[in-house]
Amino acid sequence: MREYVVVIPARLKSKRLDRKPLADIDGKPMLIHTYERALEATNARNIFVATESNEIMNLCQNESINCLMTSANCLTGTDRIAEFSEQIKSKVYINLQGDEPIMNSKNIKKMIDQAILEPKSIINGWAPIKNKIEYHSRNIPKVVLKENGDLMYMSRSPIPGNKLNNFVEAKKQICVYSFPIKALQFLSKNTQKSFTENIEDIEILRFVELGWSVKMIQLLGDSIAVDTPDDLNMVRKIMKNRVNL
């Protein structure tokens, strides 16, 4: 059994941005940029793509990237990794979302290191929100923690809120996770979205609603998850500026 694997779930038919993993960014598909961020944190033999798409599978084969085919019926990226875990056995599975082409590789490395230290814990990342635009954005999940650092709740709404609807202090989710094999086995038996998960469209809430603790660790907050065309254009500008430096 492996100590850990980094798995990039990549679904071609995204609801908000169709064919998102193949969107061109500086001459490369977004998925390849995400893979390269993982490659900065670990060896290629530890990285896999999990997909339902033959087109993505062919891309990975052409780029010599480990790739496994999974069902088209997976509800979320974590459900896809749960299915992946039935084929590739590991103590922990690092979920790096496929729409994170500029994820700081230090975040991935920190998550790997923390997963090795705590292989029985579900772990997710957070970073401080620095402005009211992020605080009010419905595309950025906001995080509220317990005193012990575990996740209390996560929402696309601006939380913690107040009567004046002002931005005071808040945290946002960073979309890299660690799941122990037992958590994914549990997910395989609970394949329906939980009530609040379905409303919020935040997959980690299924674990919280069903009684699991989620440990949160602070990560760097300079990544941008690509959910919309505006996000994609912003990332394209950032990548272009990096190339021109």
How confident is the model at residue 244, as a pLDDT? 57
CATH of the domain at 102: 3.90.550.10
48: in domain:
yes
134: in domain:
yes
How confident is the model at residue 243, as a pLDDT? 57
Rounded CA separation 191/177 (Å): 19
For 79, 152, 205, 207, the CA distances from 211, given in Å and listed in that order, are 17, 11, 10, 6
- The structural domain count of the chain equals 1
171: in domain:
yes
SS3 1: coil
202: in domain:
yes
For 137, 142, 153, 207, the CA distances from 202, given in Å and listed in that order, are 14, 10, 10, 10
Per-residue pLDDT tens digits of the chain, which is 245 residues long: 899 999 999 998 776 778 999 999 999 999 999 999 999 999 999 999 999 999 999 999 999 999 999 999 999 999 999 999 999 999 999 999 999 999 999 999 999 999 999 999 999 999 999 999 999 999 999 999 999 999 999 999 999 999 999 999 999 999 999 999 999 999 999 989 999 999 999 999 999 999 999 999 999 999 988 988 889 999 999 888 875 54
Measured over the CA atoms of residue 222, residue 226, residue 227 and residue 228, the dihedral's sign is positive
Closest CA to 98 of 234, 216, 223: 223
Domain that holds residue 34: 2-223
Rounded CA separation 228/99 (Å): 10
Rounded CA separation 222/112 (Å): 19
Taking residue 235's Cβ as centre, other Cβ atoms within 10 Å add up to: 23
How confident is the model at residue 245, as a pLDDT? 43
Q: Which residues contact 28 (CB under 8 A, 6 or more apart)?
A: none
How confident is the model at residue 227, as a pLDDT? 86
- H-helix segments, the chain: 30-39, 54-62, 77-84, 105-117, 132-136, 181-189, 195-200, 205-209, 229-244
237: in domain:
no
214: in domain:
yes
234: in domain:
no
For 2, 18, 120, the CA distances from 90, given in Å and listed in that order, are 4, 31, 12
Closest CA to 94 of 233, 217, 234, 198: 217
151: in domain:
yes
